[in-house]
């Protein structure tokens, strides 16, 4: 019964014991009184624990780090008790519960007796035993001996130590075990914790978690790298002198932490046609929107150390800047690859003057080579539109749709079920307008526009399912009926959306989903023997940095530098005939000519 009671009390501490989901409730404001606004700054940020060092002098309790710094105006009453009472008076639901760690710097019995006298009129705010939403006072520093605890009000709990033993009937008054970090490690928070020191810390945390105690270290490094390690170790309280830094880190953690994902088994290519100098019958261009090397490696980690794209041997780098900016957008990035010319941001297959430029589907149509686009967004999105539209503004969806209807593109699959009016459909009787992939029929050679229901172009996390892989299969079946070969562009559209949202789990899910299609493309290339695969991106989104990961579990942590695009060059992977053309470092618009070379054609 006592164990059940103890566990119930500990679970009410304001943090979740052995926390897997770290929040600001796990944040501890070390030496809180040294901040510009004691109590208010940490409390306002939502910290779960606030620390005050106290000295008893002439019946008054002062807050200070050292005796020499004691000032008459800096009393415990003024800096902590009065603010707590003020917050309680203005909040109809009572003050938010937190842990108040009081570090006694003078003799324990007398100091705690004076503190008890001061708090007695307000004990209802600190009675955690009878009110789980009360503030929990934990006494540290010069603590009285356990044999004296019974003489003190039960609003006082005590900060335990590793080598101390506590009678069974007093265990409930020891919710936490604290230790000096330097007893275990000399690590300064840079690089990685030495393995032997990590094991000692891990053993200590595990030992006290098994005893249902939370764990705190003082004197620990205080930076992002340290926070990452402490969370891996399972430390319940992360102490800091940099309140905003830790606050920002913990607030962003849910978006910066990607946990275990369902994995897929990567395809093992044969490499029989890889790099051979032979005219390509088909070219498949797979564009991961916003996909930098960090996004790829995040997917690699999330898929437990394996991705289809990393099976490709031919690797290059593409410089993505647009005609008018160091950082491209998707419109200018797609235009560069689709037309062979750089243009201004937001422009779709028009040059910097606004004049139309022939796209790959238009050039290939002269040779009776059909083209298709498959995307996991609206069909009027900037990347697909770059391959069929000619507009100076990527947001002009009604004009872009008109261009799609006029385009020689043979197959278009994406979202936007309401983008084409019934009048437009009637005006284009030779085009099949479908709303389901199952309606595609390879026996029907007509131009087909498949605008699927909105749920199929939602983020993977929101139920898109296997739409992109299924759409790829349908597109290959439809286009493969051409005796003259085909060109297909497939976009992993929402890797970019995850980058803009600065959500690492979003990015990883989309990257893994896109990689499944890459594996399908490689398998088709091996079976066909005349197909070149190119995998690249229009740009990088988010400035993603990966801080830590685990290939066994697929967990990883990262952070983003921006919610926007960056100018970082992107990878180009290639497979099949003529794949060596894509090696090296080059401008993104040269991909257009390289694709035509694969087909053995000129512009």
The catalytic residue positions are 330
Radius of gyration of the chain (CA): 31
* Helical packing angle, 467-479 and 504-528, nearest 10°: 30
Question: Is the dihedral angle over the CA atoms 513, 515, 521, 523 positive or is it negative?
Answer: negative
Instruction: Tally DSSP H helices, then E strands, for the chain.
Output: 18, 24
H/E run at residue 374: strand 371-378
Backbone angles phi, psi at 142, to 5 degrees: -80, 70
Task: Give which of 572, 340, 376, 374 is closest to 458, Cα–Cα.
Answer: 376
Please answer whether residues 492 and 376 qualify as being in contact, where contact means their C-beta atoms are separated by less than 8 angstroms: yes
Q: What share of the chain is helix, strand, coil (3-state, %, to 5)?
A: 40, 20, 40
The DSSP letter of residue 36 is: S
3-state secondary structure at position 519: helix
Cα gap 475→413, rounded to integer Å: 8
Cα gap 178→44, rounded to integer Å: 25
Going from the C-alpha of 338 to that of each of 138, 287, 484, 562, the distances in angstroms are 65, 12, 20, 27
Residue 191: left (phi > 0), alpha (psi -120 to 50), or beta?
left
- Do the strands 282-288 and 486-492 form a parallel or antiparallel pair, or are they unpaired? parallel
Cα gap 379→488, rounded to integer Å: 14
Task: Give which of 215, 141, 206 is closest to 177, Cα–Cα.
Answer: 215
Length of the chain: 603
Cα gap 274→537, rounded to integer Å: 21
């Amino acid at each position: 019964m006592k164990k059940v009671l103890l566990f119930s009390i500990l679970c009410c501490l304001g943090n979740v014991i052995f926390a897997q989901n770290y929040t600001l409730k796990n944040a501890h404001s070390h030496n809180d009184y040294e901040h510009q606004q004691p109590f208010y700054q940490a409390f306002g940020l939502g910290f779960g624990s606030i620390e005050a060092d106290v000295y008893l002098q002439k019946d008054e309790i002062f807050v200070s780090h050292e005796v020499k710094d004691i000032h008459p105006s800096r009393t415990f009453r003024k800096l902590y008790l009065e603010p707590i009472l003020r917050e309680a008076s203005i909040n109809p639901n009572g003050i938010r519960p937190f842990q108040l760690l009081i570090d006694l710097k003078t003799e324990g019995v007398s100091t705690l007796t004076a503190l008890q006298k001061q708090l007695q009129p307000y004990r209802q705010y600190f009675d955690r035993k009878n009110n789980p939403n009360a503030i929990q006072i934990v006494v540290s520093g010069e603590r009285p001996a356990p044999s004296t605890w019974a003489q003190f009000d039960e609003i006082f709990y005590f900060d335990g130590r590793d080598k101390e033993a506590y009678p069974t009937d007093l265990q409930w008054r020891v919710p936490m075990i604290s230790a000096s970090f330097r007893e275990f490690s000399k690590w300064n928070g840079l690089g990685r914790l030495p393995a032997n020191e990590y094991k000692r810390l891990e053993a200590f945390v595990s030992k006290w978690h098994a005893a249902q105690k939370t764990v705190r270290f003082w004197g620990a490094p205080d930076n992002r790298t340290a926070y990452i390690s402490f969370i891996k170790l399972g430390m319940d309280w992360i102490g800091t002198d940099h309140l905003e830094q830790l606050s920002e880190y913990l607030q962003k953690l849910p978006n910066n932490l990607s946990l275990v994902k369902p994995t897929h088994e990567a395809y093992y290519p044969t490499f029989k046609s890889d790099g051979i100098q032979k005219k390509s019958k088909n070219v498949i261009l797979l564009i991961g929107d916003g996909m930098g090397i960090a996004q790829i490696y995040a997917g690699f980690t999330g898929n437990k150390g394996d991705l289809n794209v990393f099976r490709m041997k031919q690797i290059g780098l593409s410089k993505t800047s647009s005609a008018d900016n160091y950082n491209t957008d998707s419109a200018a990035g797609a235009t560069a690859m689709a037309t062979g010319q750089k243009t201004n941001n937001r422009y779709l297959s028009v040059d910097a003057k606004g004049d139309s430029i022939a796209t790959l589907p238009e050039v290939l149509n002269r040779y009776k080579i059909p083209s298709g686009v498959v995307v996991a967004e609206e069909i009027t999105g900037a990347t697909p539109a770059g391959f069929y539209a000619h507009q100076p503004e990527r947001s002009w969806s009604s004009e872009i749709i008109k261009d799609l209807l006029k385009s020689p593109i043979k197959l278009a699959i994406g979202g936007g079920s309401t983008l084409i009016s019934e009048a437009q459909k009637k005006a284009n009787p030779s085009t099949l307008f479908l709303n389901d992939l199952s309606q595609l029929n390879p026996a029907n050679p007509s131009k087909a526009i498949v605008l699927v229901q909105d749920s199929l172009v939602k983020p993977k996390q929101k139920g898109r399912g296997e739409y992109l892989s299924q759409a790829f299969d349908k597109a290959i079946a439809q286009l493969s009926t051409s005796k003259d070969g085909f060109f297909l562009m497939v976009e992993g559209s929402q890797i970019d959306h995850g980058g803009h949202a600065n959500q690492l789990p979003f990015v990883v899910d989309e990257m893994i989903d896109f990689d499944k299609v890459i594996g399908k493309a490689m398998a088709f290339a091996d079976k066909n023997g005349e197909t070149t695969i190119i995998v690249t991106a229009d740009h990088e989104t988010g400035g993603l940095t990966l801080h830590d990961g685990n290939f066994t579990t697929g967990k990883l942590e990262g952070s983003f530098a921006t919610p926007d695009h960056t100018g970082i060059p992107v990878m180009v992977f290639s497979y099949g005939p003529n794949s060596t053309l894509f090696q090296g470092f080059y401008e993104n618009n040269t991909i257009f000519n390289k694709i035509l070379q694969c087909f053995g054609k000129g512009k």
